Amino acid sequence: MSYLYDTQRVMRQKRQNALQRGLVAVLDVGTTKMACMVLQFDARNDSEVRLSAGTVLDHGSFRVIGVATTRSRGVHYGEITAMEETERAIRTVVQGAQKMANVRVDHVIACLAGAAPRSYGVAGEVELENGTVTSLDIGRVLAACDMPDYGAGRETVHAMPVNFTLDHRSGLTDPRGQIGSRLSVDMHLLTIDTQAIENLLKCVKRCDMELAGVASSAYTSAVSALVEDEQELGAACIDIGGGTTSVSVFLKKHMIYGDSVRMGGDLVTSDISKGLQMSHHAAERIKTLHGGVIATSIDDREMIEIGGDTGDFDHDRRRISRAELIGVMRPRLEEILEEARMRLDASGFDHLPSQRIVLTGGSSQVPGLEGLASKILGQNVRLGRPMRVQGLPQAATGPAFASTIGLAMHAAHPQDECWDFELPVERIGGRPLKKAMRWFKDNW
């Protein structure tokens, strides 16, 4: 906990510096596409910790001044598998965004789709020392949470206090200043593989930039795709991306569950490629242009040219009906949605008051997916597009950019995390020099 607290704290400091300078880049490392946005912030001095989640709509204080996307390379299932390739892709996308923004950015906040996110609910409880809740008490109660044994190769990316209970009153978002004797907290912890973060860190560093924060794309896509009411009343966001499908559940404006399924649109493409015997490139094109999940009678008559460059006339001039294409795509998409359903069931989504499910991500654009999803996930399904942010070009407003835009919004208005609070001194580490430094820092 202490090590993690320190590293996250360092990243938080970098983020603060970047916001102070008014310039930060967000980088979405996806399986099929990599997107980078350069954000320009209004000059502001906003370092205080807000316990309330803040209104999601309040994101007018930043402006997107540069956007670039590129085909992702070296990333599989949302994890970096080839460093060199990924570094090239990051270089491409960062240079493009910088070129558009005409500024140089040094700090980047990244989000990862894969790396096996696992979510934990933890609770902590302390006796208040002087009857009134102070910031330090919140630090203490967060430090008092009993950490689950999430394993050695895991790292916490999100640790958000979701709910405070003061004596018998629950559902407090900001207990500071209130009077009571026992303070307890429910915290949501999201861990991912350490290696994934380290690889990303290395790639970003090799691009001469500093990583100023890491987020899970399960969280960020929900931030941008869920509207405020949905976040408040409870909703699940399913971001069907290229390589992974991120699932997250929100309640009372806090993420209470996050997970990812290692399946996505790429699998659909490879199914088409294998099943209908065409190149991956052609399969991707046909999926995008003619894909669907609900076949009607006219689809039997609609023939699609496959194309090809093998030189074999019969092979290159093949035509398939759209119904065939749908027949290949539908089972895979059903499988993905069923897998997501299983994750939601495991999370206890059934018990939430609102059963709203929002589908977003690039693969959610398949026509008719909404109808298919409502059969699998429940009636209350809608397709979500990310919120509009200032300065975003039209080309980057589609559902494929949900997690990128969510990351930008997260960068502008981060929810409080555990490391935003000062932990009590005994948890920080016993080195006297460090204590002295802390004392100096606090007093000057």
Partner 1 sequence: MQQVNAPTLHDPAPSRVKYKLHRLWLTPVYRALIRTGLPVLLVLVVVLSWLRDPAVQQKIATHFDNAREAVEQRPEFMVKLMRIQGASEPVDKLVRETLDVTFPVSSFRLDLVALKEAVEDIKAVETVSILVGAKGVLEIGIVERVPVLLWRGEDGLVLLDAQGVHSGYLNSRLDRADLPLATGQGVAQNIPEALEIFRKLSPITDRVRGLMRMGERRWDVVLDRSQVLMLPETQPIAALGRILALHQAQDILNRDIMVVDIRDGRKPILRLSALALNDLKKLRLIAAGEGE
Positions that interact with partner 1 (CB under 8 A): 70, 88-89, 91-92, 94-95, 98-99, 102-104, 207-208, 309, 311
Q: How far apart are CA 264 and CA 250, in angstroms?
A: 22
The span from the first CA to the last CA of the chain, in angstroms, equals 27
Q: Closer to partner 1 at the Cβ: 207 or 326?
A: 207
Cβ 120 to partner 1, closest distance in Å? 38
Q: Closer to partner 1 at the Cβ: 102 or 379?
A: 102
Cβ 203 to partner 1, closest distance in Å? 12
> What 3-state DSSP class applies to 320?
strand
Q: Closer to partner 1 at the Cβ: 9 or 206?
A: 206
- Cβ atoms of 385 and 398 within 8 Å: the answer is yes
Cβ 266 to partner 1, closest distance in Å? 20
In this structure, is the dihedral angle defined by the CA atoms of residues 164, 170, 175 and 179, taken in order, positive or negative? negative
Q: Closer to partner 1 at the Cβ: 129 or 305?
A: 305
Cβ 106 to partner 1, closest distance in Å? 9
Number of neighbours of residue 261 by Cβ within 10 angstroms: 23
Cβ 332 to partner 1, closest distance in Å? 28
Q: Closer to partner 1 at the Cβ: 34 or 111?
A: 34
List the helix and strand counts (H, then E) for the chain.
Answer: 15, 18
Query: How many residues belong to the chain?
Result: 444
Q: Closer to partner 1 at the Cβ: 167 or 309?
A: 309
Cβ 377 to partner 1, closest distance in Å? 38
Angstrom distances, CA of residue 226 to CA of 29, 85, 238: 21, 33, 10
Q: Closer to partner 1 at the Cβ: 94 or 226?
A: 94
Tokens encoding 43: 């000059």
Sheet holding 154-166, edge to edge: 118-127, 182-193, 154-166, 169-172
Cβ 30 to partner 1, closest distance in Å? 16
Find the helix or strand (DSSP H, E) in which 158 lies. strand 154-166
Cβ 311 to partner 1, closest distance in Å? 5
- Cβ atoms of 301 and 315 within 8 Å: the answer is no
Q: How far apart are CA 277 and CA 89, in angstroms?
A: 29
The secondary structure of 17-74, three-state, reads: HHHHHCEEEEEEECCCEEEEEEEEECCCCCCCCCCCCCCCCCCCCEEEEEEEEEECCC
Cβ 43 to partner 1, closest distance in Å? 17
Residue with tokens 């929900």: 222
Q: Closer to partner 1 at the Cβ: 44 or 104?
A: 104
Q: Closer to partner 1 at the Cβ: 31 or 69?
A: 69
Helix, strand, coil % in the chain, rounded to nearest 5:
40, 25, 30
